[in-house]
Chains A and B, each alone.
Chain A
Amino acid sequence: MSVEPNQPLPEETPRRIWFRLVPLAIALIIGGFLFAGLSLRPKEIPSVLIGKDVPIFDLPALPGRPNGLKSADLKGQVSLINVFASWCVSCRAEHPLFMKLKAQNIVPVHGLSYKDEGPAAMGWLQRYGDPYDRVGADLTGRVGIDWGVYGVPETFLINAEGRIVCKHIGPVMDRDLQEKLLPAIAALKQGGTAKC
Chain B
Amino acid sequence: MLIPFLRHLITVFFVLGLAGSAGSAGAVAVDRPMDDPALEARARAIHKQLRCLVCQNQSIEDSNASLARDLRILVRDRIAMGDSDDATIRYIVERYGDWVLLRPPVKAGTILLWLGPVLFLALAVMLIIVWYRRQKAPIAAINTPLDEVEQARLKAIMGNEDRV
CB of B156 closer than 8 Å to a CB of A = yes
Decide if B29 is an interface residue (CB 8 Å cutoff): yes
Minimal Cβ-Cβ distance residue in A for B138: A10
Main secondary structure of the interface of A (DSSP, over half): loop
Task: Pick out which of these stretches binds chain B: A100-108, A140-148, A173-181.
Answer: A140-148
Cβ–Cβ contact B24 & A140, under 8 A: no
Pick the most buried of B20, B28, B96, B148: most chain A CB atoms within 10 A of its CB: B96
Number of A residues, CB within 8 Å of B: 27
Q: Which residues of B contact A3 (CB under 8 A)?
A: 149, 152-153, 156
CA distance A3 to B96 in the complex (A): 75
Contact B153 A140 (CB under 8 A): no
B residues 59-81 near A (Cβ < 8 Å) are: 66-67, 70-71, 74
Residues of A close to B70: CB separation below 8 A = 140-142, 145
Closest partner residue, chain B, to A118 (CB atom)? B26
B-side contacts of A42, CB under 8 Å: 56
B24 and A150 contacting across the interface, CB-CB below 8 Å: no
A140 close to B97 (CB less than 8 A): no
Per the 8 Å Cβ criterion, residues 1-43 of A in contact with B are 1, 3, 5, 7, 42-43
Give the docked Cα–Cα distance between A47 and B95 (Å): 8
Give me 17 other A-B pairs in contact (C-beta within 8 A), A3-B156, A150-B53 excluded. A3-B152, A45-B53, A45-B99, A46-B97, A46-B99, A48-B97, A86-B24, A87-B20, A116-B26, A117-B26, A139-B26, A140-B70, A141-B70, A142-B74, A145-B74, A145-B95, A151-B67
Pairs A-B, 3 closest by C-beta atoms = A150-B53, A48-B97, A115-B25
Interface residues of A (CB under 8 A from B): 1, 3, 5, 7, 42-43, 45-49, 86-87, 115-117, 120, 139-142, 145-148, 150-151
Task: List, sorted by A's number, 19 A–B pairs whose CB atoms are closer than 8 Å.
Answer: A3-B152, A5-B157, A42-B56, A43-B56, A46-B97, A46-B99, A48-B94, A48-B96, A87-B20, A87-B24, A115-B26, A116-B24, A116-B26, A140-B26, A140-B70, A142-B70, A145-B74, A147-B95, A148-B96
